[in-house]
Amino acid sequence: MAGPTRVDLSEMGRWGKQVRVAHGDQYEEVWVQTVGDRTEAIEHGHEAMQRKLLEFREGDERDRALREALGLAPVEDLVSLVVEGERAKMESSLRREMPDPVTPRQDMASGETGGQFLARLNEHHARCQELRRARGQRLDELLEARREELLGRPKEELVELARPRRIDIECWNAFARTCDDWVLLRAVRRAEDHSQAYFDDIGQVQGLHPGVKEQLRRAYREVDPPEDEALPKS
């Protein structure tokens, strides 16, 4: 069995794979590798988010168009936007009202054995699962009650309530798209020479056909799939 391989620190934690990107009867071979530090991508993502937010300043053309679009939307869609926008706040409130118990530690001083501690730990996990189910059930009840309440509101009021959520979605989509582009700029390399970036600048990435870009996105996630994805979801 081969032992550890000595590598330069700048290459440690970096890996990738050969990828064939195809569109129609055309294809290209590239190397897609991990991007260790995504600070650059995140910073550009936040800048894109701020620019998108400025597009919806009250009274501006984009904001008026948004209000008109929301005004034409079905009431049920507006209610769904409002409810989804309030979900995170409700979840946070429920976690405070119904917190998980403190994770137990083995009481060595009292002579607790490993088996006794394991039994207590299993009880703790079971209790946490019960609380998660209870919070989920309570959340569903609160969301449904809020939905019923909103269905009785005037549409003009629903438009105002839905507007921040719609803007939030637009801003996060801008953040995700921009992060994607900057990660791909650094991750996609020449197949014949992995030290050479495939793209010269961010404009080339932004100009890719959507189908081509999506293949590169999937390839990157296969190479580097952390718990919360390397490329933010749109």
The answer on pLDDT for 135 being more than 80 is: yes
Rounded average pLDDT over 4-27: 86
155-167: per-residue pLDDT in tens? 999 999 999 999 9
- Length of the chain (residues): 234
The answer on pLDDT for 63 being more than 60 is: yes
pTM given for the model: 0.76
CA dist., res. 196 & res. 221, Å (int): 21
Residue 170's nearest CA partner among 69, 79, 40 is 69
